[in-house]
Amino acid sequence: MTNKTQNAMWGGRFADGPDAIMEAINASIGFDRRLAAQDIAGSRAHAAMLAAQGIITGSDAEAIREGLLTVLSEIESGNFTFSTALEDIHMNVEARLKDLIGEPAGRLHTGRSRNDQVAVDFRLWVRDQCDEALGKLSALCMALVSQAEAGADWVMPGFTHLQTAQPVTWGHHMLAYVEMFSRDMGRFRDARARMNECPLGAAALAGTSFPIDRHMTAKALGFDRPAANSLDAVSDRDFALEFLAAASICAMHLSRFAEELVIWSTAQFRFVALSDRFSTGSSIMPQKKNPDAAELIRAKVGRIMGANVGLMMVMKGLPLTYSKDMQEDKEQVFDAADNLMLALAAMEGMVRDMTANRANLEKAAASGFSTATDLADWLVRELGLPFRDAHHVTGSLVALAEKKGCDLPDLTLDDMQSAHAGITEDVYKVLGVHNSVASRQSFGGTAPDQVRAQIARWRDQLK
Ligand code: ARG
């Protein structure tokens, strides 16, 4: 069962190679190969710095640079043999570099450890994912703004408790999600700004006795500054946790919207029609057009939040500094990021393609006594009733309409006056859904004018 090949990277003190089970539990190359490009970028920056500081020669640095570029192109073209015996991406790259350039490869690891190496690789990867999420969120917001613009004054029911509450505009509803997704963007931006410190040069944990220049490597890799404490630098995974936290909240928003699309596309609601491109059929029921993409997006929050909790549990209770537990940080982040990006892209596609059914939205908006509040407000404004009394009078009219099986605007003036003698014909003008939404002019309200002002703001902000 034992693998007699000693590890060339650290086998000096070992008489025997690892057991096959040891190798299996220890290796991360199965997944951390995804960090290849970041690993090579980090090594290139490190080698250039070592040469600039006179720690290695210029010709060694040049050989390392050329060799690393070859390794990268081998990996990118699929012509690279990853070895489990070499544990991880760092040692796979270094071993191949040694095959290619010989002795200078052994100088690359001067003043560095895999502990700061993996920290920098993973940070670079997560930073890229923040950028990716920002781009996708911005595209989704643009799609929502376009929907909002098309139906800035289309009327639909607004819900509380999923019961008809008051009429709102389609544009207003779309822009509610723009607010949510733009806060997600803010979280990814904040996380990115905070993670943008470079751990490289922290070495194993204590820094190094070589005269390295951490500012140079930080700058070369696009970081704002080197991380200030070497112990923290190698053991910090907050950046991954913050990414996952932002991703979880974003996925939760996606799932709420997905749920609305599922409801809205039912035969009972028919508020929207999803495009064929983003729907599926049933193998048995020919009439079916299922919102599978929306349902899958609704579900993604489970695994993304799972990753967030999972990594938190990995990190909980770990003493400073690096522990091998931390190798368990990557797979969940990879999975969460992949699924978030897919969900964002699918949601953007669905939103771009979907067609709102204006007539059905308006019909639904007018049912369910949705303008009862407008009636109560009229009693306050025109007859000077205290709001509580107006609420009571309106409630009795709703009960009457319910008994007669009609909506509020269908009640006769006699019906109205039976509840309050002061009511006049004038009341009917506030019972229409268009008047209702147009009257909600308070800042941030649902009136089409307010919605158009917000659309203009978003168009400006998102470009
Ligand atoms: N594969 C390791 C990880 O992902 C790299 C760091 C290993 N460091 C160590 N001291 N064993 O965490």
Please work out whether the CB of residue 60 comes within 6 Å of at least one atom of ligand 1.
no
**Contact indicator for 263, 269 with CB cutoff of 8 Å:** yes
Per-residue pLDDT at 31? 98
Confidence (pLDDT) at 5: 56
- Distance set, CA 182 to CA 195, 321, 340 (Å): 20, 36, 15
30 CA from centroid of ligand 1 (Å) = 14
Nearest CA to ligand 1 atom 11: 324
Task: Give dist(CA 274, CA 247) in Å, integer.
Answer: 25
Contacts of 316 (CB under 8 A, 6+ apart): none
102: region left, alpha or beta (phi > 0 left; psi from -120 to 50 alpha) = left
pLDDT of residue 1: 39
Q: Which two tokens stand for residue 207?
A: 């820094």
Mutate to test the pocket of ligand 1, among 115, 121, 200, 320 (most ligand atoms within 8 A of CB): 115
> What's the rounded Cα separation, in Å, for the pair 288 and 265?
11
How high is the mean pLDDT in each 10-residue block of the chain (463 residues)? 59 86 96 98 98 98 98 98 96 98 98 98 98 98 98 97 96 98 98 98 98 98 98 98 98 98 96 91 82 96 98 98 97 98 98 97 93 95 96 96 94 96 94 94 97 98 93
Q: What is the pTM of this model?
A: 0.94
Closest to 454 measured CA to CA, from 251, 194, 245, 169: 169
Query: In one letter, which amino acid is 329?
Result: D
Spacing, Cα 394 to ligand 1 middle (Å): 69
Cα 70 to ligand 1 centroid, rounded to whole Å: 24
Query: 327 CB under 6 A from ligand 1?
Result: yes
118 within ligand 1 shell (Cβ under 6 A)? yes
Phi, psi of 108 (to 5 degrees): -60, -35
Among 292, 293, 301, residue whose Cα is nearest residue 250? 301
pLDDT score of 2? 43
Which residues are registered as beta bridge partners of 2? 19
Nearest protein Cα to ligand 1, atom 3? 327
